[in-house]
Amino acid sequence: MRSIASSHFRCPTALLVTALLFSGCSGSSDSGSGANELADVSTNEPTTGSTGDTNELSDSSTSDTNEPTDNSPEGTTSNSTDETTDPSNASGPETTRVTFNITVPVYVSNALQVRLTWGDKDINASWVEDETWVAEVDFPVNVNNPLVVMFNDSNGAVALGSVETDFKTGLQAMENYAIAANDFNTAKWDDDGDGYNNLNELLAGTNPQGLDAPVAVSATLTLVPDKTIRINWQASPRADFYRVFESPDGLSASTLVSIDLDASTVQFDHSVPLHKRTNAKYIVQACNAIGCTDSTEPLALGALDNGLTLLQANHTEIGDSFGSDIAISDDGQTVVVSAPREDSAATGVNGDPFDNSLSDAISSSYLAGTGAAYVFARINGQWQQQAYLKASNTGRSDHFGTALSISADGNTIAVGAYGESSSATGIDGNQSDDSAIRAGAVYVYVRNNGVWTQQAYVKASNTQTDNYFGRAVSLSADGNTLAVGAHDEKNESTEINGDQTQGTRLNTGAIYMYSRQNSLWTQQAYLKAKREGSDFCCFGGLGRVLSLSADGKTLAAGMQYRTERAIVFTQIDGNWQQTATIESPNRQLDGDFGEKLELSADGKTLAITAVGEVPFDAERNRIDGAEEGVAYVYALVDGAWQEQSYFYIDEHPNGRRFGLDVSLSGDGDTLVVSFNGNRLYVYTRADATWSLIATLPDTSPIPALTLYRPRLNGNGDTLATSGGYAGTDVHGVFLF
């Protein structure tokens, strides 16, 4: 509604002749003598309006020339004679219909109200247009009462102005009464007593009843180590508490990530999976009983490097290959990192890392290294190196740490040493006989009250030179089942638990299953793959990579040497069986399907890479511009493995080989694929649909950082990955 303030007036209905005899409508009485005297014109004194001016309200009533009025003084008449007229003999209406034409001050709202009270009358006026309102009321004639006109907002809850005056009705059947905008007293109505009247506060956008929603805060965001977003803001004077909201991808609806933070709080730390928040936005709300106000601008993360935790061993040397493999507990609180080319002569746990007496002339070769593993634990919010693990029979070129696995609780670790050379067999055999070069071994360690000890020395049941036992290891969630791969094992048997002595065919590969009961380990099964196709006989490589389900009853195994398959074994009624063979739908020579794989905790989702495979579309046409290497996700549906998704990347200027490594979270809903040994692609699944959410470090952005060995924890919210800054000595394992 809009209006312009105007002067008010009141004219009674009168005969035209009366208008001619007098000068016009007046706000005061005129007691002159004559044949047609206008009797008893009352004067109303208006209250002060919002401008402070006094505006006179004129209240005059007239009658026909020969009719006396009820408000004439006793003993006088309203005609030209001096005779007194008996009012009882007068004839006229008992009520008068008064039309109030009201113009209110300018204010726009959908909840305005204009209300009149006079005597026992209580009437709401009707809106006409802009600032104009009207009310028609039947009043008794010749009666005087206080008149109050209220201009309200919020349907009467907030008074904006008022007109308060005496009003006396006349004797006519109809009359008009006008009230102008500046007749309203607005200064009187100041609900919160702050010196600003209600109307002016509403026009300024503040709350006239004493409490407004808080002023928006200006907030800042920084990243601090251990994946923490730190948000700071200046206090808002009217805020009773604060809230922090997050949109994980910067597009979806924001959700509350804090509790209600009291008015004295001006900082909030929020630990997040940084690899899932590269595009996240944050808002700080300042709140009180009236409402909440968002911070002035959404906050974005920017560069991630300040928020990363970097794990480094306290004594590694250049060439140790620290970060060659990583294993992370289900809760993400324990991480073990290998350095298979570390060359100290220490043995056991926490030995002397500076004894390099076993270093030799081939220290620069990939064959060099006794190897070591480092355990890091997050204790009281701080990461620290908890243990330095070495083999109990450290030897040159053993490559202790080539493969790692950790139980869900982080209390059991298996370490493979494929170059270990003893001829022992079974559990805890003779470690000092080095007559079987590169036969391989696995070492099991356990943690009790923060102290690590070696629990078992594990060898194959058919130890043989160059079997590479321990090239891959995988533990069940409880740590009581262990799978060990020996991808160059030479037995031509294709039977599970078959004859292990037929060592005549090269590189067929085998898998050895062990179980733990009361801290004692025993071999449970000897797994071989079925012969499928003429190319299987000599180049199998079974056990090059392994992944166990959480319950230890489903095992996925990759094969090497052009076999282009992944094998799934399942333990049914205590017996292991080969239950599936998965081949690439785009099988190609040297596609390396099964080079890397990982199984979800429930054993129902399987990620497989084919690092040498050229991407094809559904019609078997090469995808133009796509880089070499693909990744597949399979889902177990009604007992059969079905392809759920297929990943590749468009041409990239910095290289090729998508799928050099892969990690699947325990819940199966987060996937990380390594590209070219320096970049990671992060995908998440929702309702069986996979989406790319980040490219690290490209979208971080983290300049000059290369990342290559990803490992996810159980829910995918912690990503540990090997990496370093190009051109510097800063390298290690980064935690996102």
User: Locate tokens 């924890």: which residue?
Assistant: 713
- Which mean pLDDT values do the consecutive 10-residue runs of the chain (736 residues) have? 34 30 31 30 33 35 36 33 40 90 96 96 96 96 96 94 95 94 96 87 84 87 92 92 95 95 96 93 94 92 86 86 96 96 93 80 59 96 96 94 97 97 95 91 97 98 94 98 94 86 77 97 94 56 94 93 85 96 84 92 96 80 78 96 92 70 97 90 95 81 77 96 84 93
**Both 258 and 173 in a single domain?**
no
275/348 Cα distance (integer angstroms): 36
User: Locate tokens 């702050």: which residue?
Assistant: 194
**Both 24 and 158 in a single domain?**
yes
217/206 Cα distance (integer angstroms): 17
Residue 559 in any domain: the answer is no
**Both 64 and 179 in a single domain?**
yes
Residue 333 in any domain: the answer is no
Residue 228 in any domain: the answer is yes
127/107 Cα distance (integer angstroms): 13
Domain boundary among 150, 175, 204: 204
Tokens representing residue 344 in the block = 């100290």
Query: What is the reported pLDDT for 517?
Result: 96
- Dihedral of the alpha carbons of 430, 436, 442, 443, in degrees to the nearest 10: 40
DSSP 542: B
**Both 732 and 686 in a single domain?**
yes
- Sequence letter at residue 580: A
DSSP 115: E
Tokens representing residue 337 in the block = 């990192």
**Both 130 and 278 in a single domain?**
no
542/440 Cα distance (integer angstroms): 15
512/284 Cα distance (integer angstroms): 55
- Dihedral of the alpha carbons of 437, 416, 430, 352, in degrees to the nearest 10: 100
Tokens representing residue 595 in the block = 């080079």
Tokens representing residue 438 in the block = 């590169």
| CB neighbour list of residue 572: distance below 8 Å, 6 or more residues apart | none
- Sequence letter at residue 390: K
The domain in which residue 625 lies consists of 584-736
Q: Which of 324, 303, 304, 305 is nearest to 313 (CA)?
A: 324
**Both 121 and 179 in a single domain?**
yes
Domain boundary among 204, 234, 258: 204
Distance, first Cα to last Cα, the chain: 57
377/381 Cα distance (integer angstroms): 10
Residue 375 in any domain: the answer is no
Residue 394 in any domain: the answer is no
**228 φ/ψ angles, rounded to the nearest 5 degrees:** -115, 130
**Both 148 and 189 in a single domain?**
yes
| CB neighbour list of residue 480: distance below 8 Å, 6 or more residues apart | 515, 516, 517, 552
Residue count of the chain, please give it. 736
Query: What is the reported pLDDT for 1?
Result: 40
Domain boundary among 169, 204, 239: 204
Distance of CA 373 to the CA centre of its chain: 35
- Sequence letter at residue 634: Y
| CB neighbour list of residue 606: distance below 8 Å, 6 or more residues apart | 547, 556, 566, 568, 582, 597, 598, 599, 600, 633, 634, 635, 636, 641, 664
CB atoms within 10 A of CB 487: 28
What is the maximum span of the chain, computed from C-alpha positions, in angstroms? 151
DSSP 11: -
Residue 209 in any domain: the answer is no
Number of structural domains the chain divides into = 3
CATH code where residue 672 lies: 2.130.10.130
Cis peptide before 701 (omega within 30 of 0): yes
Q: Helix, strand or coil for residue 202?
A: helix
687/287 Cα distance (integer angstroms): 36
Q: Which of 708, 722, 615, 603 is nearest to 664 (CA)?
A: 603
Strand partners for 261? 242
CATH code where residue 284 lies: 2.60.40.10
Query: What is the reported pLDDT for 56?
Result: 34
User: Locate tokens 């008996």: which residue?
Assistant: 86
CB atoms within 10 A of CB 43: 14
Residue 370 in any domain: the answer is no
**Both 662 and 711 in a single domain?**
yes
Q: Helix, strand or coil for residue 615?
A: coil
| CB neighbour list of residue 680: distance below 8 Å, 6 or more residues apart | 275, 672, 673, 674, 695, 696, 707, 708, 710, 719, 721
Residue 51 in any domain: the answer is yes
**Both 735 and 619 in a single domain?**
yes
**Both 224 and 152 in a single domain?**
no
User: Parallel, antiparallel, or unpaired: how do β-strands 174-179 and 95-103 relate?
Assistant: parallel
**Both 157 and 240 in a single domain?**
no
Cis peptide before 87 (omega within 30 of 0): no
**Both 195 and 268 in a single domain?**
no
Query: What is the reported pLDDT for 240?
Result: 94
User: Locate tokens 């805020």: which residue?
Assistant: 239
pLDDT > 90: percent of the chain? 63
| CB neighbour list of residue 141: distance below 8 Å, 6 or more residues apart | 70, 92, 93, 94, 95, 96, 169, 170, 171, 172
Strand partners for 576? 571
Q: Which of 602, 581, 597, 600 is nearest to 630 (CA)?
A: 597
CB-count exposure of residue 211 (10 Å: 0-12, 13-18, 19+): middle
